[in-house]
Structures are given as C-alpha cells and as structure tokens.
Amino acid sequence: MLFSWLDRVIHRGSATADSAASVFAVHLPDGVATLAKYLREQLRAQAKLPGFLDKGIPKIAAQLASQGWPSVELEKVRAYADFFEGADARAYQRVVENGLARGDYAMFITAAESCYLADRFVDGAALLDMFDPHEDETTDWCEYARVAGYLHIAAGRPFEQGLTYFDVALERALFSPGLAVNAGNLYFEAGRMVECNALREGIVRHCPDDPEALFALSYVELARGYYPEGFRLMEARYRMPEVGLYMNLSVMNKERWQGQSISGKRLLVHGEQGLGDMLMMVRYLPLLHAQGVALVVDSRSEVLSLMAHNFPYCTWITSNHKEPIHESFDQWVGIMSLPYCFQTTVFNAPAADGYITVPTDQKQYWKDRVHALARGARLRVGLAWSGNPGHRSDKRRSVPFDVVLPLLTKHEDVCFFSLQTHVPDGSPPNLADMAEELVTVADTAAVIGEMDLVISVDTSAIHLAGAMGCPAWLLLPHRYEWRWGLDGPKCAWYQSVRIWRQERNGAWEALLEKVHVALQQFAAKGEC
C-alpha cells in the first residue's frame, strides 16, 4: 500500500518529479527514490527499516510542505503510511475526516480494500458515498466493481443496487478472477443466470486453474444441484492463498485421501470449516467406519462431547490450526470433501432422516429444565434469529430482533426458547433466555430434543435440529447458500427441515407474517 503514495510523490504531487526524488534521497540510499518505479522491492526493504515510519514520514511530510504541497496531499501521505504500518483504523479515520478519497481512486481502493479484508463492510460502504469513479481517470473499473459491489451488499444496502457495480464491469467486457468470485454468487442469488454464465465463461477462458475463481464457481454449481461437478470444483480451496485461515497446514505434508481404497489405514478427518458444516458432514463417518478405517477427527471443543457420544469409534481431538496434530495418521481429508469422495448427488445424501442423538446423562436434566421454563405453554419453540456477527454474510442471513418481536407477541401461548448466546434486554416474557446455560452443543441438542419445533435462520441450530431429525423451519434470504437449493421447501440434506424463503432480498417482515400464519396452523394441528 505504501507504493501508491510513493508513486504519487514521484509522479502526481504538486512538487516536480525531480524535487520529489530529492526529498526521498535525503532519507533513502542514492538512486532508490529516483528509480522507485523500477526498484519496488528494494524500496520496500528500505521502507521497512526501523524508524522509517515514525521518523522518516514526518520528515518527508515536512519537506513536501515546504515545497508547497497542499494539506490534503500531506494528509494522504500520512494515511498511506498508516495503512502500510497496519494502523488501518487510524488511516480510515484520516480518510473519512478529511475526505481523502474524493476524486482519488488510489486512496479509495486502498481504504476500501482495507475494510473489505477486515470485514468492516459498513465502513467500506461509506467510502462509496465519498468516491465517484468518473472523477479519476486512473479508476480500474474491474477492481472498483469487485470491491464496491461486495461492500455495498455486505453492508446491508439494497441488494439490486449493489449488483449495478458488477453490471458496469460486465457491460465494459471486463473480467478478473476477483470479480468472478464476488459477483458470481451474488448474481446467482439474484437469479441473474445470464451474468452467471458470462462469468463462468470468463473463468474458463481467462483463468481455468485459478483456485479462488473455481471455488466461487463451485457454489453456483452446487446451488444448481450439480453436486458432482460442484464438489469437484470445491476441492480447489486447498490451493487458495488463505487456506491457512481454516486449515491446519501441517496435515498437508501427508497424502490427501480422495476416495480411493483406504481399508486398514488411519485417516484424519480435518474439521476445516464451521460448526454447521461439521454437524452436516459427520453423517459420512459411519460410511468410513464401515470401510475398516481407523478414524481421527479434529473438531471444535464445544461439540466434542456430542460427537464422541454419537461416533464412539472415532478418536476425537480438539482443533488447533496453529499447532501440529500429534495424533498419528496415514492420510487426511477435509470434512467438506467427504461428499466429493463418496460421489454424492442431490438424490443420495446419506442419513437425511437424522443421525445425532442426545447423551442420556444430559437428556433428563434438560427435560426437567425445559418443563419448568415452559410453564404449561401450548407449544415449545426453539428460536434463533441471528448468527455469528463476524460471518461475512451475517447482515443478510440474520433477522433484526425488532423484526422478530411481533412473532413472539402474537403467540403469547407459545414458549420460545432462545438458542443463541445473546437475548436483548426487554424481551417478552414468553422468550426463555438460556444463554448462560447452553455451554456445549450437547446442551443445545438436549434443548432442541424437547422442542415441538425449531425456527432458525441459517446457523448451527438448524443443522443440529436437522441432524437430530427434529421438526424445524429455516428462514432464508432470497436464494441463499448452496446447500439449501434454489427454491421449494425441501433440501437434500435434512428431511425434517422446511425452508421458508424471502420473495425478495431483505423482505423479512413479509416472510415472518407467513411464518406467523403457519405457526397458528401448527399449533392447531401439530403439523409442519
């Protein structure tokens, strides 16, 4: 990021290139500043020397000021230096308070990319209001569309309006792997199949081996129901640059199992993904066990007791991506690769009627606890209206509590049990808050087992209910997430889950009104 403002100093500032080069020559070895655009790596090394940022930058700014540079340009130098140093919040504050992104694509994309990478989508979207891409002839329209479209939608702004950023790039026949990654799934969610196909063709033509583009394409193929091809493309994730964020890289030193005969071997099933993915994919463990495989499975600590109860033939260990796995194994497989290895289609997902039960030592405690809290209510309904706020798509998949509240108040004879970690103050009396009691996933499973119905957005709670074969209603944004398919109330993975889909993006109120009517019918007939 430092080089954007170095280039500015040398080529675009108020000072001439020669005088700007002389400024840098005071602080850097002779020749490095003059040849900056040819010697980027050498300059990078010099910029990382101790004292450059805290001493060199003020000196540079002072000399530029003495040569008549305007204050806004000097503030940009400081902002770029902050970004380079990793002080992104301070840099962002400079950009916003001083309007530094106005008419300046380099500054905009630096600040926007910083927000994008840190999942600070609301902050990033605010930059869209500051920068007009037509005001800077250096705007890279493909890169601008990639970042701007995603920031707009992820920040919770109008979905269709966010797609217009991608539309401009496609109208100009622009393409990059990053654009395909961000635009592909969002176009698909909007039902824009012409654009999806254009991006697919772009991947085939321009980057047929790019792992990030292939991984993004896998989600589209899976949502279309093309499971064999989708799961094959998903294998590209092992080659993605960020693989270390969700994988223990030490396992990759050994052979990866891809479906070949493995009888008599010791296989590590790597819990590479989220809790919902783990709950969804452990259905394949009995198939592996039947092949005579010794299984080691790493998983998050809060689900270990439930997993050990249901799959006692596995050796369960706690996931730790920062430390080598000490259990011995011959080969490994990522848990999300199991559908690929077993050649899963939309018609043959195993154990869709349920495969997880509650440990007996917890069942009686929670039976008594739920009975006490229900106080004779007509129905017991488990409820989860929001997921992990750190999830990139959380603003679209979660329902604001004030939007959910009318459902609770319309059904005073129903006891709703919160299945999440936080309940707002002032919630109605028919919402039982057990946040401090649900310590492990086994606790949550025991509560779900006592419910007449579970109503949840796309969180681990819905996976748990489906894996237990409990009646559950899933509240979805409009066309969201490959595993739930395109339309209809059913999916391939859980027979007990009924899907409720928004008719358009963001229309939670209309969807919850339908749920309200259905809940009245369920209370009367006891049928989902």
- Mean pLDDT along residues 449-467: 97
Residue 14 has pLDDT above 70, yes or no: no
Taking alpha carbons only, the member of 27, 76, 121, 115 closest to residue 396 is 121
Contact indicator for 318, 301 with CB cutoff of 8 Å:
yes
Residue 399 has pLDDT above 60, yes or no: yes
b vs e for 294-313, b when ≥16 Cβ sit within 10 Å of the residue's Cβ?
Answer: bbbbbbeebbbbbbbbbbee
Distance CA 149, CA 143 (A): 10
And the tokens for 506? 């963001």
pLDDT of res. 370: 96
pTM over cut 0.85: no
Contact indicator for 395, 154 with CB cutoff of 8 Å:
yes
Residue 5 has pLDDT above 60, yes or no: no
pLDDT of res. 441: 96
pLDDT of res. 392: 61
Give me the domains of the chain, ranges plus CATH numbers: 1-139 (no CATH), 156-245 (1.25.40), 247-341 (3.40.50.150), 360-525 (3.40.50.2000)
- Mean pLDDT along residues 414-421: 94
pLDDT tens digit sequence for 254-276: 999 999 999 999 999 999 888 99
Taking alpha carbons only, the member of 256, 252, 234 closest to residue 339 is 234
pLDDT tens digit sequence for 314-346: 999 999 888 899 999 999 999 999 999 999 999
pLDDT of res. 397: 80
C-beta pairs of 469-472 under 8 Å, 24+ apart in sequence: 469/353, 469/354, 469/495, 469/496, 470/354, 470/496, 471/496, 471/498, 471/528, 472/496, 472/497, 472/498
Contact indicator for 80, 106 with CB cutoff of 8 Å:
no
pLDDT of res. 45: 52
pLDDT tens digit sequence for 105-155: 999 999 999 999 888 999 999 999 999 999 999 999 999 999 999 999 989
Strands of 453-456's sheet in order across: 431-432, 414-418, 379-384, 453-456, 472-476, 497-501
pLDDT tens digit sequence for 165-176: 999 999 999 999
501 membership: H or E segment, kind and range: strand 497-501
Tokens 């007939």 identify what position?
525
Confidence of residue 353 (pLDDT cuts 50, 70, 90): very high
Q: What is the CA radius of gyration of the chain?
A: 27
Contact indicator for 348, 290 with CB cutoff of 8 Å:
no
Distance CA 274, CA 397 (A): 16
Sign of CA dihedral 178, 184, 187, 193: positive
Amino acid making up residue 522: F
Question: What number of other Cβ atoms are within 10 A of residue 13's Cβ?
Answer: 23
213 membership: H or E segment, kind and range: helix 211-223
Question: What number of other Cβ atoms are within 10 A of residue 201's Cβ?
Answer: 11
pLDDT tens digit sequence for 179-191: 999 999 889 888 8
- Low-confidence winner among 7-16, 96-105, 441-450, 454-463 (lowest mean pLDDT): 7-16
